[in-house]
Amino acid sequence: MSSPFEKEVADRAYEESFLALLDQLSDKKVIIIGPTPRAPFNVGKCIVKMSLLKTGSSCDFNVPSDHGKRIQRLSQILSGRRNVEFVDITTNICPTGRCLMNVEGYGAIYTDSGHLSAVGAELVYDNLNLEFN
């Protein structure tokens, strides 16, 4: 399952609208973060089930094979815009190609199959080197 944003970016009219918005913000620094690698299941439910049943199974998953194409497409859409910085967070969430869903010191980092939890957003933010000037 993909997010509505991903579906819309594939739509030419939405892409044009998105780029028009970025053009309107040309005097501002815009930072676009993401997208997250999609899990093949609902991570939040998996973690709750795992903790309730006290199973040794994991809710981790491998980076999906189509994720690189999603990153490449978004990078392509944003290329040439001097005011826009695109940040790929894949290595923040999946440092070895394996997406760790219950990170020590943070907890569950997804709420479902692709949305960061509050602690997941904190984990990603803590690992970014962004300057907000």
pLDDT digits (tens, 9 = 90+) for 77-101: 898 899 999 999 999 899 899 998 8
- Structural domain tally of the chain? 1
CA–CA distance, 32 with 59 (Å, rounded to integer)? 27
At 49 the pLDDT is: 84
Which amino acid makes up residue 31?
A: I
pLDDT band at 1, cuts 50/70/90?
very low
Is 29 in a helix, a strand, or coil? coil
Query: So what's the pLDDT on residue 58?
Result: 84
pLDDT band at 32 (very low <50, low <70, confident <90, very high): very high
Give CA–CA dist 49/36, Å, rounded. Answer: 22
- Report if residue 131 sits inside a domain: no
Residue 58 to residue 100: CA distance in whole angstroms = 9
Whole-structure pTM value:
0.77
Domain range for residue 90? 4-126
For residue 133, is it within any domain?
no
Pick from 60, 109, 112: nearest CA to 89: 109
The pair of structure tokens assigned to 42 is 């609902």
